[in-house]
Structure 1
Amino acid sequence: MNILLVDGYNIIGDWDELKALRDTDLAQARQLLIEKMAEYQAYRGYRVIIVFDAYEVKGIESKYKEYNVEVVYTKEKETADQCIERLIKELKNIKTKVYVATSDFAEQQTIFQQGAYRKSARELAIEVNHIQSEIEEELHAFSAQKQARTLPISKDILAEFEKMRRGRK
């Protein structure tokens, strides 16, 4: 199994589309990241966990699932980096590869020391854009294939078939 841990605010602060949205509506930027990671999860089959830093927020850690993506807000006085490091220890084993998406250089060094793999924010953006292109191509091909299966029948004949189907003459 492959797991992708995403440093949510690090990615939001790096991707132009999310960064611009963050400046006007942070909640919307978080939501868009979740949606993009849901597409990634569905296409790649990875378990995706997005970690948002709640270091300055009082309260306990919260977790929920949206679009099959796990979203974690860290507990009080815990940074996203600390939470990610804890999750790596919990999740990494011989059968599981853990990837961490962050552009935080210090965190990347810690990730390597724990045996996880890293994806920079830029690498993840390229991969997400590539996936979106592949999905669009597949949808286009499916649409073209669907159109090719339809028989060119005139409206008059279709109307006659409809009468026959309904038992009318």
Structure 2
Amino acid sequence: MLKDILIVDGYNVIFAWTHLKKLAHESLEHARMELRDRLLNYGKFKGYEVILVFDGKYTKSGGSVEAITSGFLEVYTEDGETADSFIEREVFLRKGKYTNVYVVTSDGAEQNQILGSGGLRIPARELQNMIRIAKEEERLQYAHEHRRDQFSLRRNEVGGLLSPEVAEKLEKLRRGH
């Protein structure tokens, strides 16, 4: 079964989200780390593969590709290659290998290029909203599972405290014998 893939223009998102933009003014590295963490959780919850792309010109190390976990790549483009050109190439290469190729950017020209390449665009602020909704869904799902586990524990607690003889007598009563 094919998966969806989310290709994210990292700096575009950082400077579109108010919280990350403020954080970036203090430490660009911390803003990148927080975005990575949010995307890791979101991708795992939604079952998406994720490629987080940053322009390499803003880092000391230059170009690199790091597999953070299975299904999550963090890319720093080579000096001279923009995140936009890297993303355009990835959309072209990955089209047909995934159910949907989503690209997160608020760059208007890039959005048009993505649509022309067969990708689907998600504006940076819309991704922020999607992550917020997914986090709430995850919280509700966890609360539901936690309640179910507590219920089954409570239900089984008493049975575990009964002697085998008493449990047998209660079972006979329940059956009407």
Smaller-chain TM-score range? 0.7 to 0.9
- The structure with the greater share of residues assigned to helix is 2
2:31 is equivalent to residue 18 of structure 1: no
1:33-52 Cα deviation digits (max 9, x unpaired): 11111111111111100000
Q: Indicate how the Cα distance of structure 1 residues 62 and 103 shifts in structure 2: closer, same or farther if over 3 A, else same.
A: same
User: In structure 1, what is the Cα distance between the partners aligned to 2:55 and 2:154?
Assistant: 56
1:118 maps to 121
| Bigger Rg over Cα | 2
2:136 equivalent among 133, 136, 143: 133
How does the TM-score come out when normalised to structure 1? 0.83
**Which residue identity is paired with 1:120?**
P
1:60-102 Cα deviation digits (max 9, x unpaired): 5201022442100001101110111111121112654211000
**Which residue identity is paired with 1:43?**
F
1:64 equivalent among 60, 63, 66: 66
**Which residue identity is paired with 2:115?**
F
Moved more, 6-15 or 39-48: 39-48
1:81 equivalent among 61, 79, 84: 84
- Structure 1's unaligned 5+ residue stretches are 162-169
- Structure 2's unaligned 5+ residue stretches are 164-177
SS in 2 for 1:77: coil
1:137-159 Cα deviation digits (max 9, x unpaired): 111112222222233869xx97x
User: In structure 1, what is the Cα distance between the partners aligned to 2:132 and 2:59?
Assistant: 33
Q: Indicate how the Cα distance of structure 1 residues 139 and 72 shifts in structure 2: closer, same or farther if over 3 A, else same.
A: same
| Deviation of the 1:114 alpha carbon | 0.9
How does the TM-score come out when normalised to structure 2? 0.80
Equivalent pairs counted in the alignment come to 158
Q: Indicate how the Cα distance of structure 1 residues 75 and 17 shifts in structure 2: closer, same or farther if over 3 A, else same.
A: same
User: In structure 2, what is the Cα distance between the partners aligned to 1:56 and 1:141?
Assistant: 43
The root-mean-square deviation of aligned C-alpha atoms, in Å, is 2.3
**Which residue identity is paired with 1:141?**
H
2:47 is equivalent to residue 45 of structure 1: yes
| Deviation of the 1:59 alpha carbon | 6.3
Q: Indicate how the Cα distance of structure 1 residues 35 and 95 shifts in structure 2: closer, same or farther if over 3 A, else same.
A: closer
Contact persistence 2:5–2:98 (CA under 8 A)? no
**Which residue identity is paired with 2:47?**
G
Q: Indicate how the Cα distance of structure 1 residues 96 and 150 shifts in structure 2: closer, same or farther if over 3 A, else same.
A: closer
Identity across the alignment (%): 36
Find runs of 4+ consecutive structure 1 residues off by over 4 angstroms: 56-60
